[in-house]
Amino acid sequence: MTLRAERLSGMEMIDISVPLREGMVTYPGDPVVRMERAASIAGGDVVNLTRMDFGLHSGTHVDAPAHFIDGASGVDEIPLEALVGPCEVVEAPDLSPDSVALAPEGAERVLFKTPNSELWARDDFAEDFARLNGEAAALLVDRGVRLVGVDYLSVGDEAAHHALLEARVVPVEGLDLRGVEPGSYELVCLPLRVVGADGAPARAILRRD
């Protein structure tokens, strides 16, 4: 899996999404990704058609409040303005409160690049990944952050999820930030519009001149 970067009309675009594929690492207990051909031209059909079975928190994805708060809003109700706009990529050794404080004051969208990024080279789940605790998540809420992205399959522990989701902060999990330099970008992160869902896979890109 390699970082995909392109240029369009002088603008650099970096794909920071993890490709969905069979055999990819998933969070323990989540459904694994399965794909099969439902129709094939080689088999005499008019088209190739693929059936896919996977959990909505596979690969790069967005968490909705309903993920941890029963009866809360689904991913289809997340405001677009939270998902698109200026963001800061912050390189940090971990996701402790001290490291989270490295994010610039006033940043509404923050993506944390940690040693987690190197874990994407593995096909097995890494238990010792960096994650937010409740204190670190509360610090981001107090700073007015609207979206926080992390470079592995969970933004943090249960307390962190509750702190973020109850404050309507959007967690983006499963980003691939290998090769992305820290700094200012524009983020475009659009989850599938699955009605009432607790989350959804997303295509996330960074753009800058």
pLDDT in tens, 166-183: 999 999 999 999 989 999
Low-confidence ranges of the chain (pLDDT < 70): 1-9
- Whole-number pLDDT of residue 7: 65
Domain residue limits, the chain: 4-25+56-208
pLDDT in tens, 78-91: 999 999 999 999 99
User: What's the CATH code, domain 4-25+56-208?
Assistant: 3.50.30.50
Residues ≥6 apart with Cβ < 8 Å to 44: none
- Whole-number pLDDT of residue 4: 63
Residues forming the active site: 67
- Whole-number pLDDT of residue 2: 52
- Whole-number pLDDT of residue 209: 86
Positive or negative: CA dihedral 79, 166, 119, 58: negative
